[in-house]
Structure formats: C-alpha cells, structure tokens
Amino acid sequence: MTVTVANRRRIAWMALLIAVAALSASQGTAQETQEPATVTVTGNVVDDVTGEPIPGVIIVVRALDISFFTDTDGKFVIADVPRGSYSLEVIHRGYQRLEGDLAIDRPGEFFLGLTPFPDPNDWLITGIVGLVTDQVSGEPVPEVVVNVPAAGRAATTAADGRFVMRDLAPGRHEVAFSHLGYRHRSEMIAVESGHATNVHVALTVDAIELDPIEVTVDRRDRNLESAGFYQRQEDGFGHFVDRDDIDNWNPVDLTDALIRFPGVSIVPDARSPMNRHLRFRRGRADCAPPVYLDGVLLTGLEGFYLDDIVNPMSVAGVEMYRGVAGIPVQYSGRGTACGVVLIWLRRGG
C-alpha cells in the first residue's frame, strides 16, 4: 500500500506507512497462492503539529461513493475495497482540507496529517488589486504592465483589465502603469497590512488631463480572489457572505449566518434535532441545494451536516444562488434546479 502526496491546493500532508506485523508473516504465503481481489486498510488522521488523533474527520472516496467519520481515536477503516488507486478528500472544520491519492495494493495501516489553519493575516491580501480602463471609451485595457519599481514587483492586467499584486510591504508605493499606445502613468498608492487597496486607473492615448484614480481599501481573501468570488459579487447575482459579515455577526454555526438571507431556511434533522439541514424555499416546498466546499461537491454524503464540517471562523466567503439564475457555469447542470451553495475556506500562502 502506498500513498502519493498531492499538492493541488498547496496543503502539506503527512503519510506514514506502517506495516501490520500480524500480516507480514503471511504475506509471502499469500503471494505464492492467489491474492484476494479486495483488501481492508485502516487509516489514522492526526494533527501534523501535535501528532494527536483527530476524531470526527470526514473521509470521502468519490470513486467508491462512500464516506467515513474517524472515531474517537482518529481511526477509520476502508473494508473490502478492490485493489487500485483512489482519490481521498479529508475534511474537518478545524483544519485545512486535504486531498491526495491512495494506492491500495495490500492490507495495512497509514497515517494522514491535517494542518491547522494558519494565522488569520496569512489569509488576507496585503497589496493592490485594480482595474485599468480606457479613459475615453471606458473599456478595460488588457496587457497593461503594472510595476512597483522599489519593490521589484510587477503584474499584467488580464483580458478584463484587472490585476492583483500580493504581498507588498505596508506603506506608500509608486506604481507605474504602461502599455504600448497609451501614455505612461505613475501614481503613489498606500497599502495597509492585511488589506487590499482597490484602484481604478484610466489611461489615455492623448496628452490630456487624466482622471484621478479611484481608491478604496478593503479586506480581500486570497482564496476568494483566485476563485472569482469578488468578480461574481460585482456581477450582482446571488447572495454573498464575506469575512467581514461573519466577524460582525459572530455566528456559532455557519447556518446561523446563512439563515439571515431571504428564501433560506434551516430544518432540524428528524432523527437528530440538534443537527440541521440547509434548505431553500421553493414555492410551497423546501429543497436541498448542492453544497460545494472549495469547489468540491459535498451533498449526497450520508450523515452530512454542514455545521459538522465547516467552522464559521474558517470561512472566507459563501455564495448562495437560489434557482438556476446566475449560477457560475462550472457549478451548473443537472441537480441545480434548487440552486447552489458555494463555500470558500481561508487559505494561507
């Protein structure tokens, strides 16, 4: 049995393979005959800082359409599984979500280490985000070089005229904007620690007086920026919750924050009233929307309760789309008639 580490989300994780002593003596005999088609493996999930076991972790094996919760000792068992390679997703409300590939070829035991969430300031952009447009037409200008000479940093605007420059030192920076066919422009822009300075800069081809740049300052999360959260928020579809909302509301559970929006209801579980399901009101009935966590579909898991998985303190933002209108294309399709909920976690780095 081997484990392949995946760095798809830059999440560090540990995999220590421990041979099962009771099985090692019989391994040679099993190989001489015929190996069984299925095997059973035991997993252990621990805190990769303290080494302590973590109970209540959800393990998702998509290819087998199964999920597990770790017990009080942080253990889970994948029983009678066909030999092969499987993608695992490991989720706990107090830790960074983990992804990796597990190759199961013989019985054994393995350990997975979950990384606690980093310092909150690591989740925020300290830098400049902005939009560059043509002063006359108002159209976005792509491929503008945005340069901070003193910091040795540069960025280029995308097709929509937007750019992001992360990890700048707090203070005032001279920022230059240049593009072939437009007049060079240079501005002094202030950057605050843990905040993103938003700028709207206009360029012109003629020697006319330039409009002053528009500057606002807010907190921007790295994960939300890369996921397109802020762009969709500007587009105006759906309901959005960001870190400032959560800090202001201080909800005990995430559902306490989401119920504030029209058309959202929380339904107690019939067998376990302390656990609650998220529902959208649709006419005279309620429906259960698919829920994505950092782009991974979570609904359909047996025993799944949103508040068990997601700690509101670890959430960077939430998008809720009731019905199909405005759902991002990558999350639309079958099963989305009720709508979609997208939850984004804080990420370091």
Decide if 340 contacts 292 (C-beta within 8 A).
yes
Q: What is the amino acid identity at position 61?
A: V
Which residues make beta-bridge pairs with 150? none
What is the share, in percent, of the chain residues with pLDDT greater than 90?
21
Q: Dig out the tokens for 110 from the structure.
A: 């393995």
Q: Dig out the tokens for 241 from the structure.
A: 């919750």
Check residue 116 and give its pLDDT. 82
Which residues make beta-bridge pairs with 160? none
User: Is the pLDDT confidence value at 177 over 60?
Assistant: yes
Write out pLDDT tens, residues 295-329: 878 754 555 678 877 888 888 899 999 988 889 98
Distance from C-alpha of 4 to C-alpha of 2, rounded to nearest angstrom: 7
Decide if 162 contacts 142 (C-beta within 8 A).
no
Q: What is 296-316 written as a DSSP string?
A: EE-TT-TT--HHHH--GGGEE
Element (H, E) at 45: strand 38-47
Exposed e or buried b per residue across 68-101, where buried means at least 16 C-beta atoms within 10 angstroms of its C-beta: bebeeebbbebeebeeeebebbbbbbebbbbbbe
Among 39-53, 80-94, 176-190, 213-227, which is the least confidently predicted range?
213-227
Q: What is 108-158 written as a DSSP string?
A: EEEEEEEPBP--GGGGB--EEEEEEEETTT--B-TT-EEEEGGGTEEEE--
Q: What value does the mean pLDDT take over residues 217-227?
A: 76
Per the rule left: phi > 0, alpha: psi between -120 and 50, beta: everything else, 232 is alpha
User: Is the pLDDT confidence value at 76 over 90?
Assistant: yes
Check residue 299 and give its pLDDT. 55
Architecture in CATH for domain 2-114: Sandwich (2.60)
> Which among 118-127, 137-146, 271-280 has the top mean pLDDT?
137-146
Check residue 16 and give its pLDDT. 35
Check residue 18 and give its pLDDT. 33
Which residue did the predictor score with more confidence, 288 or 206?
288
CATH class of the region 224-345: mainly beta
Q: Dig out the tokens for 149 from the structure.
A: 């000479």
Report the SS3 class of residue 32: helix
The DSSP 8-state label assigned to residue 209 in this structure reads: P
149 CB-near residues (< 8 Å, 6+ apart): 174, 176
Write out pLDDT tens, residues 80-111: 989 889 888 888 877 887 888 888 888 889 99
**β pairing state of 145-148 and 38-47:** unpaired
In the chain, domain spans: 2-114, 125-220, 224-345
User: Is the pLDDT confidence value at 249 over 60?
Assistant: yes
Check residue 340 and give its pLDDT. 93
Among 67-81, 87-101, 171-185, which is the least confidently predicted range?
87-101
- Would you place residue 5 in the very low, low, confident or very high pLDDT band (cuts 50, 70, 90)? very low
Q: Dig out the tokens for 302 from the structure.
A: 């047996």
Same fold, 125-220 and 224-345: no
Q: Dig out the tokens for 250 from the structure.
A: 């201080």
Q: Dig out the tokens for 162 from the structure.
A: 């937007």
CATH 2.40.30.170 fits 125-220, yes or no: no
Check residue 317 and give its pLDDT. 93
